[in-house]
């Protein structure tokens, strides 16, 4: 059973470009979470999605960031007009449907570097 798959592993963008990060959850998982880890810091929650629905986006910056989890295909975290401060590791996690005692399984992360 494949784990959570994130791609790309590393992404380099110039300031002002767009960054698209992809996450395929584990088989049978319908809940997806995105976290951001700035250098030397812990992970910070960004957004929680279920299929075709955003459940909690309280950690998402109001501008330039968006996330989706379509009925078919991976979850996408999109950052428009990237700035240097967006450089971070972005982790996706997934969990199966059901009550909240299911642990979240993490992908290996996408390291975003802004030149």
Partner 1 sequence: AQTVTQSQPEMSVQEAETVTLSCTYDTSESDYYLFWYKQPPSRQMILVIRQEAYKQQNATENRFSVNFQKAAKSFSLKISDSQLGDAAMYFCAYRPLGATNKLIFGTGTLLAVQP
Q: Which is nearer to partner 1, 3 or 74 (CB)?
A: 3
Task: Report the nearest approach of partner 1 to the CB of residue 46 (Å).
Answer: 9
Task: Report the nearest approach of partner 1 to the CB of residue 57 (Å).
Answer: 10
What is the DSSP code (8-state) at residue 58? Answer: T
Residues of this chain that bind partner 1 (CB under 8 A): 31, 33, 35, 41-45, 48, 55-56, 58-59, 89, 91, 93, 95, 100-101, 103-106, 108-109, 111
Q: Which is nearer to partner 1, 65 or 91 (CB)?
A: 91
For 74-86, letters b (16+ CB in 10 Å) and e give bbbbebeebeeeb
d(CA 113, CA 104): 26
Task: Report the nearest approach of partner 1 to the CB of residue 91 (Å).
Answer: 6
Q: Which is nearer to partner 1, 14 or 99 (CB)?
A: 99
Task: Report the nearest approach of partner 1 to the CB of residue 81 (Å).
Answer: 26
């Amino acid at each position: 059973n494949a784990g959570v798959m994130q791609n790309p592993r590393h992404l380099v963008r110039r300031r002002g470009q767009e960054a698209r990060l992809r996450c395929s959850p584990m088989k049978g998982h319908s809940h997806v979470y995105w976290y951001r880890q700035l250098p030397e810091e812990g992970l910070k929650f960004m957004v929680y999605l279920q299929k075709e629905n955003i459940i909690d986006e309280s950690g998402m910056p109001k501008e330039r960031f968006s996330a989706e989890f379509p009925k078919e295909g991976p979850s996408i975290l999109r950052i428009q007009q990237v700035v240097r401060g967006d450089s971070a590791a972005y982790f996706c996690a997934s969990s199966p449907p059901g009550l909240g005692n299911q642990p979240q399984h993490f992908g290996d992360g996408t390291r975003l570097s802004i030149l």
